[in-house]
Amino acid sequence: MFSTSKPAIIALFAIVLLSSPGCGHAASPSGLDRLGFAIQMGAFADVKNAERFTDTLQKKGIEAFYFRKDNGIYAVRFGDFATKDKARAAAKRLVADRLIGGYYIAPPNEIVFARPRGAGWQKPVGEEITSPRSTDGSKTAWDKGTARTGKMAESAQPRPARGDRDMGAIAARTAERFVGIPYRWGGENVVDGMDCSGFVRAVYNLCGLSIPRTSRDQFKAGDQVAKDDLRDGDLLFFGSSADSISHVGIYVGSGRFVHAPRRGEDIKVSAVDESYFERHFIGARRYFQ
């Protein structure tokens, strides 16, 4: 399924160089970087295949994450490119080296999940290359007849810019879409507590904002928020002290937050005032103003 040839590794290292910090992206009010273009690939029917491919990328030095799309299949996203051309060039190298079979260039202003599910919540197929099948052998939109012209499908129109207050709500709705998905980050070398911070990082990534990698660094960023002033999208931190953060989750309203409990377990919703979380609550941070 995966190629480990030297050209593929070289192409992957090129992605790391192209997606390294300092691309001139606009900063958020909290001083955090707005993400540029990203590469999204796959139509994984089985979450284990999405997890395995994500792990393959991470072991090659590329920070990647997977998520479940509105049509029920899983996709993997990675990279932070200053321009669409740079993202496409990197993706084409990976296709040529047979590491991936299809891709979508995600724009910086794309809102993946804006509203709760309801009638007609399925999103249209985005801009995919004309790959006949997905990486895990499941049928893609191509097989189902959504693009039979031999050309790339047209991407959805960019959504209008939204205020940061709206983005907090979008981050909360995005977090809710992960509920029920088993999550593992970074293969077997992940340290304790990285799953929960990796999860919230993935949610913010889908909302166009890059936040620090570890829960301790995430706690140091953003703006302090009082517990009685929580808004959708705020991050909640737990541990024994501010210097010993052990867990983080995303507030989704009504006294609830979404989090990755421990390695390999499903993403779940918990109440902020549950005994354990109430005793270990350290503070909250806001990244969208």
Q: 3-class secondary structure for the chain?
A: CCCCCHHHHHHHHHHHHHCCCCCCCCECCCCCEECCEEEEEEEECCHHHHHHHHHHHHHCCCCEEEEECCCCCEEEEEEEECCHHHHHHHHHHHHHCCCCCCCEEECCCCCCCCCCCCCCCCCCCCCCCCCCCCCCCCCCCCCCCCCCCCCCCCCCCCCCCCCHHHHHHHHHHHHHHCCCCECCCCHHHCCCCHHHHHHHHHHHHHCCECCCCCHHHHHHCCEEECHHHCCCCCEEEEEEECCEEEEEEEEEECCEEEECCCCCCECEEEECCCHHHHHHEEEEEECCC
Catalytic residue among 23, 196, 207, 280: 196
Residue 280 annotated as catalytic: no
Residue 259 annotated as catalytic: yes
Catalytic residue among 23, 207, 247, 280: 247
Residue 247 annotated as catalytic: yes
Catalytic residue among 23, 25, 259, 280: 259
Which residues are designated catalytic?
196, 247, 259
